[in-house]
Structure formats: structure tokens, C-alpha cells
Amino acid sequence: MKRTLLNLLVLIAAFALQSCIFPFIPFLSATPNLILIFTFAYAFIYGQRAGMFYGLAAGLLVDLFHSGAFGFFTLFFVWIGFLNGSLSKYYYESYITLPLLLCTVNEFLYNLYIYVFRFVIRGKLDFPFYFRTIIFPEIIISLLFTLIIYRFFLWYNRKLEFLDQRRATT
């Protein structure tokens, strides 16, 4: 229970950082999608059910604070949590290439989801421009942040497991 609450607090802090601070940093051409990074990391480490739960929490956060149809992002994040959670059987702590691959695929799917349901429907069909100006920079910056955040998340997860084991023995 404490782990879930701490993870939700980290998710809220990541959302606040992504929404309130990163857009105002002038040298960033794109903002990293911390919510997506934490959602697939939680799903990848904890499994499908936890991934769907954290995906639901992340999607509700994004839906509540951004405009559009309610449930638009929630549906996507729940699916990301489910799909990445199914890969939890391939989880190895020191294995960084699979999380980087997941970050790339998830970021591309996220931006493709937005492109199809927000731009194609309105008749804006210039995908090469959208890919060059939005998708590609976001993938690169999210990959760089994944290298840092995933290592932090592994340290954080080990610390919580150690505290749980220590609490269980006393």
C-alpha cells in the first residue's frame, strides 16, 4: 500500500514537472513525456495489473488537466500499461536496451495516436512535417530522460523492496 502511494506521488510529481516546468525551459525543443516513461516503467517492472492501474492514474491526470474529450488519454495509457506489463517476464534490472526500445515504440505510438485522432480527423495530413517537428524530437529527448529516470526508478524500487523486506522481518 505504501509503495503504491509513493509511486502515485512520484507520478504526480513527474506530471507537475512535465506540465509546469519543462515547457518553460528555452533550450528544450521538445519536452520529455515523463508520464509515459513512468507508466511503461511501472508496467515493465510490476506487471500488467499494476501497469494498467498506473496507466489509469496517469491517463486521468492528463485528461483532467488538458483539454479534449475525457478518457482520450486514459484509454491510451491503460493500453500502454497493459502491453508493457505483458513484457514484465522479460524484466532484468541491468538490461537497459529493452526499456529504451519500449520508450521509442511507446513515444511513437503516443504521438501517432494524437496525430490520427487530433489531426487526421481535421484533415491535416502532413505526416512528414509532424514527424520531423514533433515526433522525432520528442523521441530523442524522451530517450535521453529514460536513461536517467529508469536508473533512478531501479534504485528507488530496490530501496522500497529493501524496506519491505526489513519491515517483514521485524
Residues whose CB falls within 8 Å of the CB of residue 89, separated by 6 or more in sequence, listed in order: none
The predicted model gives 82-108 an average pLDDT of: 86
Grid coordinates given for 119: 489531426
| Best CATH choice for the domain 2-19+29-169 from the list 3.40.50, 1.20.120, 1.10.1760, 1.20.1070 | 1.10.1760
Q: How far is CA 144 from the centre of its chain?
A: 13
Q: How far apart are alpha carbons 30 and 101 in whole angstroms?
A: 19
Q: Where are the domains of the chain?
A: 2-19+29-169
Per 3-state DSSP, the chain is made up of helix, strand and coil in percentages (nearest 5) of 80, 0, 20
The predicted model gives 13-33 an average pLDDT of: 86
Q: What is this structure's pTM? A: 0.88
pLDDT band (50, 70, 90) for residue 80: very high
